[in-house]
């Protein structure tokens, strides 16, 4: 794999990548960045979670940096509000050391707020087709200076009935633009669209990584950053792993965690991109030979490793790209052996975990943070069993005589044994983790969900009617699923469906007022992701 430092990328973007902990490009990035940098049109067939946002974002931003122009220069068209916001956030990370501005525009949010944002000399607009067209009609978005257009998740936009809108938007841009189209699948309609609007595009196909998860038990725990090292220590004590790899997202985090775990008495070494080859080889040899039982590594450093008998993988930091999760846990459960993986997540990480499950087609079960009492029991049990195993070792005569002398001299043997156990086991008296804080957060989240559900019941846009669906995040439903199902069932273009809010067990969507009766009639029972769902109009 190619390192980002090998690309001809501006120092500002290199600094942002370094700050994010990215060292090496994913396959789609390695293939797409050189083509896009040359100004060629391209088609990328790649799944979500492979790093395609950076694949088109880096060359676009690099070009904008070299041209001091404060007009809108790039347009990224996305199927859903969620994806538009996600892409906007990724661009924010890449532009941390620049003055480049971007804005996400989508339905379901007051348009006045977006108009105000558009007046702040943004150079990149990221949005959904319907809202982009709305701004074009209001003349709040002018595409005269647009040099780059990206169609992200084009197949999703096709399913949602947005192709007509996309064509209307593309007609507003210059024919001299550079166009990039990304899609997980390539149906005939997408190929037809590309022939019509792309100029001699280069085709990139990245096969979706597959993995065998049968032998890997996948677990996640809700853990706050402040408690991670303590929870990691407890898992290692309870699992008694022979070989474990712990993944962090940055070199800095790797180095800090190595020091922490060494202070706790673990035989552990770091593995990241700053290690010289000689040191790296030495660390890997020690790990293979069992001199150390644990590696703390970044994704880049661990890529390409072939180490047998790794029985435990821990995602101390959740991977940024879903594909990285596949690479990480694939280090265990090899050659028919069983393996186990733990992932730490909290707050917004849980949504990322759901995306990982969808991408990897797996179920990651939740477990509670192990209580210290359980760890203490295990340590004491191992200590006692260790003593029992040595009682017939035959080389204890000297020590029996020593104990006899101590007894004759009046030493309290029970007190002596207690002191020796205290010094050897070094058990803590108090629970270090504040479980009450976790419970407060859990209750707050439930209360917040109730408030959120109440606030989502009514549309914020005039001329729209809101419907409720008895399906939500737990069913792994996405906005595209709702739009395509509603549009197909009601036989209406997807652009007539507005804001979508997906909560844990219910979802809400807006539909134009003139289609409300049609929706009420046809959505009494509709299948979404294989589940029979009923739509109810909110009064």
CB 155 within 8 A of CB 182: no
Residue 127 domain flag: yes
Same domain? 250 vs 185: no
Residue 503 is assigned to a structural domain of this protein: yes
Same domain, 232 and 341: yes
End of a domain among 372, 398, 422? 372
Q: How many CB atoms lie within 10 A of CB 423?
A: 8
Tell whether 433 is covered by a domain.
Answer: no
Cβ atoms < 10 Å from Cβ of 248 = 24
Total domain count for the chain?
3
Do 58 and 172 sit in the same domain of this protein? yes
DSSP annotation string for 64-115: HHHS---S--EEEE-SSHHHHHHHHHHHHHHTTTS---EEEE-TTS-HHHHH
Low-confidence ranges of the chain (pLDDT < 70): 49, 208-214, 300-306, 334-336, 393-394, 428-429, 448-455, 460
Residues 186 and 52 in one domain: yes
Return the CA Rg of the chain: 28
**Domain shared by 221 and 365, yes or no:** yes
Residues pairing with 77 in the sheet = 127, 151
Residue 413 inside a domain? The answer is no
468 forms bridges with which residues in the sheet?
508, 536
State how far the Cα of 309 lies from the Cα of 334, in Å rounded to an integer. Answer: 8
User: Where residue 70 sits, what CATH number does that domain have?
Assistant: 3.40.50.300
Q: Is the same domain home to 150 and 255?
A: no
Q: Which residue has the tokens 């700050």?
A: 19
Say if strands 365-366 and 216-222 run parallel, antiparallel, or are unpaired.
parallel
- pLDDT for position 327: 80
Q: What is the pLDDT of residues 84-134, one digit of tens each?
A: 998 999 999 999 999 999 999 998 788 999 999 999 989 999 999 999 999
Question: Within a domain: residue 441?
Answer: no
CATH number assigned to the domain comprising residue 508: 3.30.70.330
Would you say residue 398 lies in a domain?
no
Q: Looking at the structure, do residues 192 and 230 belong to the same domain, yes or no?
A: no
User: Which one of 323, 355, 372 terminates a domain?
Assistant: 372
**Same domain membership, residue 123 and residue 21:** yes
183 & 240 share domain: no
Domain that holds residue 509: 464-537
- Give the pLDDT confidence score for residue 244 in this predicted structure: 94
Quote the pLDDT of residue 368: 93
Domain C-terminal end among 147, 170, 205:
205
- Cα separation, 297 vs 18, in Å, equals 16
Looking at the fold, whether 257 and 293 belong to one and the same domain comes out as: yes
The verdict on 185 and 290 lying in the same domain is no
**384, part of any domain:** no
β partners of residue 76: 126, 150
In a domain, 344, yes or no: yes
Same domain, 230 and 160: no
């Amino acid at each position: 794999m190619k390192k980002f430092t090998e690309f001809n990328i501006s120092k500002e973007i290199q600094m942002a990548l370094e700050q994010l902990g990215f060292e090496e490009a994913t396959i789609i990035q390695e293939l797409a960045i050189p083509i896009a940098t040359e100004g060629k049109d391209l088609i990328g067939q790649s799944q979500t979670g492979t790093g395609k946002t950076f694949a088109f974002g880096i060359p676009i931003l690099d070009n904008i940096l070299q041209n001091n122009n404060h007009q809108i220069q790039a347009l990224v068209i996305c199927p859903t509000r969620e994806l538009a916001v996600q892409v906007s956030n990724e661009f924010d990370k890449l532009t941390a050391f620049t003055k480049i501005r971007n804005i996400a525009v989508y339905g379901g949010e007051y348009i006045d707020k977006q108009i105000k944002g558009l007046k702040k000399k943004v150079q990149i607009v990221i949005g959904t087709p319907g809202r982009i067209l709305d701004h074009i009609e209001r003349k709040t978005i002018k595409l005269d200076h647009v040099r780059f257009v990206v169609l992200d998740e084009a197949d999703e936009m096709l399913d949602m009935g947005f192709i007509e809108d996309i064509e209307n938007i593309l007609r507003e841009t210059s024919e001299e633009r550079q166009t990039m189209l990304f899609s997980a699948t390539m149906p005939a309609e997408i190929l037809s669209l590309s022939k019509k609007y792309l100029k001699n595009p280069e085709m990139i196909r990245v096969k979706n990584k597959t993995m065998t998860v049968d032998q890997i038990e996948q677990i996640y725990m809700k853990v706050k950053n402040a408690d991670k090292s303590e929870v990691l220590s407890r898992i290692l004590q309870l699992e008694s792993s022979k070989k474990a790899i712990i993944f962090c997202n940055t070199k800095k985090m790797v180095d800090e965690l190595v020091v922490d775990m060494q202070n706790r008495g673990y035989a552990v070494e770091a593995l990241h991109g700053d290690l010289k080859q000689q040191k790296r080889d030495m660390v890997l040899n020690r790990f293979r030979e069992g001199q150390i039982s644990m590696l703390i590594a970044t994704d880049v450093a661990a890529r390409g490793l072939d180490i047998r008998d790794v029985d435990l993988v821990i995602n101390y930091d959740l991977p940024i790209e879903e594909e990285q999760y596949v690479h990480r846990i694939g280090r265990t459960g090899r050659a028919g052996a069983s393996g186990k993986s733990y992932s730490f997540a909290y707050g917004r990480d849980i949504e990322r975990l759901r995306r990982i499950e969808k991408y990897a087609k797996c179920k990651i079960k939740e477990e509670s943070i192990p209580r210290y009492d359980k760890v203490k029991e295990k340590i004491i049990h191992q200590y006692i069993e260790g003593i029992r195993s040595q009682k017939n070792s035959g080389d204890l005569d000297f020590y029996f005589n020593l104990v006899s002398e101590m007894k004759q001299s009046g030493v309290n043997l029970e007190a002596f044994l207690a002191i020796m156990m205290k010094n050897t086991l070094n058990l803590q008296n108090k629970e270090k983790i504040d479980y009450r804080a976790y419970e407060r957060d859990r209750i707050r989240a439930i209360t917040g969900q109730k408030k959120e559900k109440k606030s989502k019941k009514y549309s914020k846009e005039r001329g729209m009617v809101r419907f409720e669906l008895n399906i939500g995040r737990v069913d792994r439903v996405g906005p595209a699923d709702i739009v395509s199902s509603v549009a197909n069932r009601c036989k209406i273009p997807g652009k007539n469906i507005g804001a979508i809010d997906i909560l844990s067990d219910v979802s809400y969507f807006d539909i134009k007022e003139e289609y409300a009766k049609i929706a009420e009639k046809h959505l009494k029972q509709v299948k979404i992701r294989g589940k029979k769902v009923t739509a109810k109009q909110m009064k």
